[in-house]
A = this chain, B = another copy of it.
Amino acid sequence: MHKDTFEPKDILAAVDGSFTTTDALREAVLDRLCAGDTQPVQGFFAAHHPADTANFLGALNTDEICEILRLLRLRDRAEVFGYLPEPLQIDLARCLGRKEFAAIITEMSADERADLFNRLSEEQQEALLPALAQAEREDIRLLSAYEEGTAGAVMTSEYVTLPPDLTAREALDKLRREAPDKETIYTAYVIDAERRLMGVVSLRELILAGPGARVANLMERNVIFGSVGDAREDVARKIATYDLLALPIVNGNDALVGIVTQDDAMDVAEEEATEDFHKVGTVGRLATGLKDAGVSLLYRKRVLWLVVLVFGNIFSGAGIAAFENTIAAHVALVFFLPLLIGSGGNAGSQSATLMVRALATGDIRLADWSRMLGKEALVAGALGLTMAVAVSTIGLVRGGPEIAVVVSLTMVLIVLVGSLIGISLPFLLSRFNLDPASASAPLITSIADAAGVLIYFAIATALLPIPAA
């Protein structure tokens, strides 16, 4: 690890993964590059995982990254490149020469290559294609045809297939020959002459079997598979449910066309959870991480919902205006307004959060609606009563017994209505094939606010004495 060329503390920082924040290391590397002293830099990066190297390079400018990438061995270069964020990859495509870029892209895994290709400008794509070999051109053409967000778009074509009549020994020989070009050799797929999926066999089973055993007798015939058009989150969930290393993907003719590996499924699951998180917080889909998102991108992703909610709140305002006389006669009612409508919104966001996540993880299905609604009514009733007790004491102190009754009664109703809205909206959205995660806390809050204002002042007007205007 060339301990003599960098400060020990830098090495230490590098080893525990936090070295992206040590500016000292960045300067040390750049100093050596300027001085033409490339060997220690090369050694330093060779000793690190490509993910760490990529993380470090992310803090440098494009020219510096190009220079360091050129110092690495081609295979490492492609691996590091694959771990860089996509916008940076596209910038680098410009700064690296066409041939250099083609060499890197050839070494990348088939799915990463197709993803990157899809994001290049048409001009860049046209410049790149002639520099690639026939096999890679064909692969890109096949993989980049699928719509984003589908199984087709995340799958890779680098898997091993076996005919059913091979022996275990022959199958192992084939795996060994093809290993260098395949994403995984731990699961092999048995197909017929039309590439239809007949079974799946693991390397573990092939190794344990006698050398003369037939693949057809070793393979598992009840294969769990996905289709190219499946949503990528469904594929990820299947891999998690069945603890698979990879899921085979078939096309409309039941022919095997790719696999989705577990590590890609894990990335998909994380991205989908982040997207749901942001939706629940009424933030639009960010293509980059929050750290790299610019001010104007963040503004655009947030402003829409905020303005929609402003206009949504007009209903609450209109509700209040309708009860102007009641308010003028009992200004003390206003003290409890934020508390009451806030509580309805809070209870509603709780229900919506539970429901959105349960629908996303598959814990709850559409058919469970009526059961969940009944349960929610019980839970919300109990919550409303508890909160009514809490608020009645405040009501007594601040507004007297009449106000306390109005406020307590309102609390029970508001929590019940808010919760039932919160639990129903995700179901309704899901029913109409919309994303349940759009039933965000702020949306629920706005609806619960308007309902709450009406409930509160209607009860107050009915129970409290109002002098003629």
Contact = CB atoms under 8 A, between A and B. Distances in A.
A342 B337 CA distance: 12
Copies held by the complex:
2
Contacts of A352: 281
Contacts of A263: 240, 243-244, 262
29 contacts: A47-B222, A51-B241, A51-B242, A176-B207, A186-B203, A239-B266, A240-B266, A240-B270, A262-B262, A265-B266, A269-B270, A270-B361, A276-B277, A282-B349, A289-B361, A291-B368, A298-B354, A299-B382, A299-B383, A302-B383, A303-B383, A306-B387, A310-B390, A313-B339, A317-B335, A338-B341, A342-B445, A342-B449, A345-B442
Given A277-B280, A278-B357, 19 more contacts: A49-B242, A176-B207, A185-B204, A186-B204, A203-B203, A269-B269, A269-B273, A290-B364, A291-B368, A302-B379, A303-B382, A310-B390, A313-B338, A314-B394, A317-B339, A321-B335, A337-B338, A338-B338, A441-B441
A349 B281 contact: yes
Interface in A215-262: 222, 224, 239-245, 262
A283 B353 contact: yes
A188 interface: no
A317 B395 CA distance: 11
B310 A375 contact: no
Contact of A311 (B280, B314, B386, B390): B390
A462 B31 CA distance: 59
Closest 8 CB pairs of A and B: A281-B353, A313-B339, A289-B363, A290-B358, A273-B273, A243-B263, A316-B338, A317-B335
Interface stretch (A62-70, A130-138, A324-332): A324-332
A280 B185 CA distance: 41
A280 B353 contact: yes
A403 to B, nearest CB: 12
A350 B317 contact: no
Interface of A: 21, 47-49, 51, 172, 175-176, 179-180, 185-186, 203-204, 207-208, 222, 224, 239-245, 262-263, 265-267, 269-270, 273-274, 276-278, 280-283, 289-291, 295, 298-299, 302-303, 305-307, 309-311, 313-314, 316-317, 320-321, 324, 327-328, 331, 334-339, 341-343, 345-347, 349-350, 352-358, 361, 363-365, 367-368, 372, 375, 378-379, 382-383, 386-387, 390-391, 394, 398, 415, 441-442, 445-446, 449, 453
Given A222-B49, A361-B270, A375 B295 contact: yes
B341 A441 contact: no
Contacts of A335: 317, 320-321
A350 B186 contact: no
A449 B341 CA distance: 11
Contacts of A269: 266, 269-270, 273
Contact of A346 (B282, B311, B358, B361): B282
